[in-house]
């Protein structure tokens, strides 16, 4: 699995404008296990952004955005996408939707293992 940590909310906000129409896309695999993505984190981020006066126009939970075959949406809603996934998911979205501003909501740390549904161990840190 790929291990990620949350990018500070303040940094995500700095990349956004109040006039942006924001979509949020989240991984429901590795990022969910790391508690940086999945349905719960997707809804939390949407709620925070709305509370701070941003316009969230779409949220989308995708099994594994690192698999470009799962990114089969013909269009994304909004002009900016915040992605709660590893660098591979962010990369795929940038390649498939080059006219959209794609912002990472996570920091990719490296390869890891998942133990009994509770603990993540970082095995190899990316440079």
Model confidence pLDDT, tens digit, residues 23-51: 999 999 999 999 999 999 999 999 999 99
- Which residues make Cβ contacts (< 8 Å) with residue 70, sequence separation at least 6? 62, 63, 64
Which pLDDT value is given to residue 73? 62
Q: Per residue in 75-98, pLDDT tens?
A: 788 999 999 999 999 999 999 999
CATH code for position 47: 3.40.50
Which pLDDT value is given to residue 81? 96
Q: Model pTM greater than 0.85? A: yes
How, if at all, do strands 106-115 and 119-125 pair? antiparallel
Which residues form the domain of 112?
2-125
Give the chain's domain count.
Answer: 1
């Amino acid at each position: 699995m790929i291990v990620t940590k949350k990018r500070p909310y303040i940094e995500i906000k700095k990349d956004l404008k109040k006039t942006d129409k924001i979509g949020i896309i989240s991984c429901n695999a590795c990022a969910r296990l790391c508690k940086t993505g999945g349905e719960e984190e997707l809804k939390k981020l949407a709620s925070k952004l709305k509370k701070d006066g941003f316009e969230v126009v779409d949220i989308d939970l995708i099994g594994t955005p690192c698999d470009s075959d799962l990114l089969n949406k013909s269009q994304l809603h909004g002009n900016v996408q915040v992605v709660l996934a590893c660098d591979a998911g962010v990369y795929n979205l940038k390649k498939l939707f080059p006219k959209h501003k794609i912002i990472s909501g996570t920091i990719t740390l490296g390869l890891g293992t998942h133990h009994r549904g509770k603990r993540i161990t970082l095995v190899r840190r990316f440079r």
